[in-house]
Structure formats: structure tokens, C-alpha cells
Amino acid sequence: MSGPRILAIETSCDETGVAVVDGGRRIAANVVASQVALHAVTGGIVPEVAARQQLRWIVPSIEAAFEAADTGWEDLDAIAVTYGPGLIGSLLVGVNVAKALAASHGRPLVGVNHIEGHIYANWLTDAPDLLPAEPPFPLLCLVVSGGHTQLVLMADHGRYRLLGQTVDDAAGEAFDKVGRLLGLPYPGGPAISAAAEGAAPATRFPLARPGGRYDFSFSGLKTAVLREVEGYRARGEPIPVDGIAAAFEKAVVEQLVRRTVAAAEEHDVAAVALGGGVAANRALRRTLGERLGGLPLLVPPPAWCTDNGAMIGAAAAFRFAAGDRADASLEAVPALALPWQTAA
């Protein structure tokens, strides 16, 4: 396999992800220590708990990744780490460990933006021999996670233009909050998706129309679900959880799909790519695929949509090839943005 072998570390939120990736494409190991079960107890992420768990699991995860890839320091060309956006306490763990490893083993360090990682999940493969074709440019990327909802036009590696984003909650955050309103387990995304599968929508929620052409809004929808639930409670009727979940999911998907299809047409893109935890949603994948007609839709497998180290290793390889190097001064940046360009 040509290209650098990169050790990639992702600790921006509540998953400890460590991967070994070759040439930015091929996964040699992808270890994820998840805190989902822990946060299910509190119904959401408690930042200090997340940071402490990162500290607990980072070294065992690195050891497990080395073992899974059957690799050692002599084979590694660089160390990559997510330095933002994310929770400060969680980010600090990965950044600090990556800096220490880079210094002690004399390897170059590459800082990676978490959102860029979600996009580059589309470059990954675990195919044993044949390397699939790379995603084509211009590429329209819909990044939908627990913390972010952005429509990004990618002209080439590292060249991003922000077409639109949420004006309030992220799509995944809306799933999680509505899941809690409906009494479903955390995280709400997979739970709502499972409840909605095959259920007839119990109502029809109106489509949000925030300011910008490609902007998103989900907080009004969350309030509409709350009113609906309160209505059933006030009337003493049982709450049709599956039907409300289906109506909510439909409204979210419709908003995401309409903006994405319109942007794909306007910018005449070569393909559309999904990324982020909500990209694991089956209704979103299905509906977007149908509405895009013949345009290729790239969707990473669910395990690469949610936070993981491999996607950071993929993004890092292209930054590494472009000469990007971080040093001991690398800081964790909770509100880190992609380097937006005004025209693609």
C-alpha cells in the first residue's frame, strides 16, 4: 500500500477512537471505545464524565489499535489528532497524548478538524485488495452529527465552501432531545429510527424555513413534538410514540433532503456525500438516494459515520501530503471551523 501509515486519535466528544490508516484510504485498525452505555444513564453527555472516560481509555485504545493492525512505531509515518471542534476536556486528552507520542517517537504531528474527518469517512475502505475509486469533485457534503449540521461544497482536497448550516440545534441533537421527550432510550437517533421504521406518521409537522436558502432549523420542530405530546397527555390519551417518531423523522429528513438536492442542482456537483452520526439514518439515506435521481450518493457504513479514528486518519493523509505539520504548540480549539473559502 502506498502512502503514509498514520496513527489517528479522535477524542472530541464521548468516543475514544484510535485507528491505523494507510494512504488515507485503507483501514488497518479502527478501535472505538464508546461511552454510549454510560451516558444512557444520564440521558445525555456530561462533559466532565466524557473527559474522564477519554483519560481512562486512550492508552488501552492505542495499544488495541497497534495490536489489531499488527504494527509498531517503526512502521508509522505520522500521528494525527482531532484538535476541534468538540468538548474541551475530551479534546485535551487526545491532543496531549498525540503531542507526547510525536515528541517521544520523533514522528510528525498532523492536527485534524473533526468535521473534515466526518467528510473523509467517504474515502475509507476495508476492501482487502482492490482500492475503490475516490469520491469525485466537486463534491457536496452533508455533515449531520450530534453537534453539527452543515452543507459544504468541496471543490478539491482542503477547499471548502459553507453553503448553509443550522441556525439552532444540530440534527442529531434534535433526534436526541425528541427521543427524550418520547421516553425513548439515549441516544435518540437510533431509537427514533427504530420506532419510526414501518410506522405511519401520527401527524404532519410543517417544514421549517430559516433565513438562508441552505440553512436548517430544528428547534421549532422539537417544540412542535412537545406540544403534540402534551396534547395527548391533556386528553388522557396514550401517546402514539412510533407514529410521532415517524412524523418527526420524516420532517427532519424532508428538510435535509430538500436543501441538499437543491444545492446539488445549483452547483452541478459530481456526487453527494453524507457524514456524521445522523448519516447512519436509513430513512435519510433512502430518501436522499431516491431524490438525487442518477447522481451518485456516497454513504459510509454506519460505524464510520459516528465518531471514529479512521476518518481522522483519512483526512490527515491529505493534509500530510499537502505539507501540513503541527508542533508542540498545537492547542485544542472547541469552536474550530473549517477554513472556509468564499467561492469554490
Strands 26-34 and 139-144: unpaired
Unique residue bearing C-alpha cell 477512537: 17
4 or 190: whose CB is closer to ligand KG4? 190
176 binds, among ligand KG4, Zn ion, none (CB under 5 to 8 A by kind): ligand KG4
- DSSP for 289-339 reads HHHTTTS-EE---HHHHSS-SHHHHHHHHHHHHTT--B-TT----TT----
Cis (ω within 30 of 0) for the bond into 138?
Answer: yes
Among 140, 280, 299, 311, indicate the residue that binds ligand KG4 (CB under 6 A): 280
CB of 98 to Zn ion, least distance (A): 18
Q: Does 276 sit near ligand KG4 (CB under 6 A)?
A: yes
The 251-270 site mask, x for binding ligand KG4 (CB under 6 A), equals --------------------
Among 307, 311, 318, 338, indicate the residue that binds Zn ion (CB under 5 A): 307
Q: Does 89 sit near ligand KG4 (CB under 6 A)?
A: no
CB of 288 to Zn ion, least distance (A): 19
Enter the DSSP assignment of 183: T
Q: Which stretch binds Zn ion (CB under 5 A): 145-153, 185-193, 230-238, 294-302?
A: 145-153
Q: Does 187 sit near ligand KG4 (CB under 6 A)?
A: yes
The 208-247 site mask, x for binding ligand KG4 (CB under 6 A), equals ----------------------------------------
CB of 310 to ligand KG4, least distance (A): 13
Enter the DSSP assignment of 12: S
Distance from C-alpha of 39 to C-alpha of 45, rounded to nearest angstrom: 5
Enter the DSSP assignment of 205: P
Please name every residue paired with 109 in a beta bridge, in sequence order, or none if there are none. 79, 326
Distance from C-alpha of 344 to C-alpha of 339, rounded to nearest angstrom: 12
Distance from C-alpha of 298 to C-alpha of 275, rounded to nearest angstrom: 9
With beta carbons less than 8 A apart as the criterion, state whether 151 and 257 touch. Answer: no
149 binds, among ligand KG4, Zn ion, none (CB under 5 to 8 A by kind): none
Q: Which stretch binds ligand KG4 (CB under 6 A): 47-55, 145-153, 208-216, 331-339?
A: 145-153
- DSSP for 83-145 reads EESS-HHHHHHHHHHHHHHHHHHT--EEEEEHHHHHHHGGG-B--SSPPPPPPPSSEEEEEE-
17 binds, among ligand KG4, Zn ion, none (CB under 5 to 8 A by kind): none
Q: Does 145 sit near Zn ion (CB under 5 A)?
A: yes
249 or 307: whose CB is closer to Zn ion? 307
281 binds, among Zn ion, ligand KG4, none (CB under 5 to 8 A by kind): ligand KG4
Q: Which residues lie below 8 Å from residue 27, measured CB to CB, with a gap of 6+?
A: 19, 20, 21, 124, 125, 126, 310, 313
Q: Does 173 sit near Zn ion (CB under 5 A)?
A: no
CB of 116 to Zn ion, least distance (A): 11
Give the binding site for ligand KG4 (CB under 6 A): 13, 145-147, 172, 175-176, 187-190, 193, 276-278, 280-281, 306-307
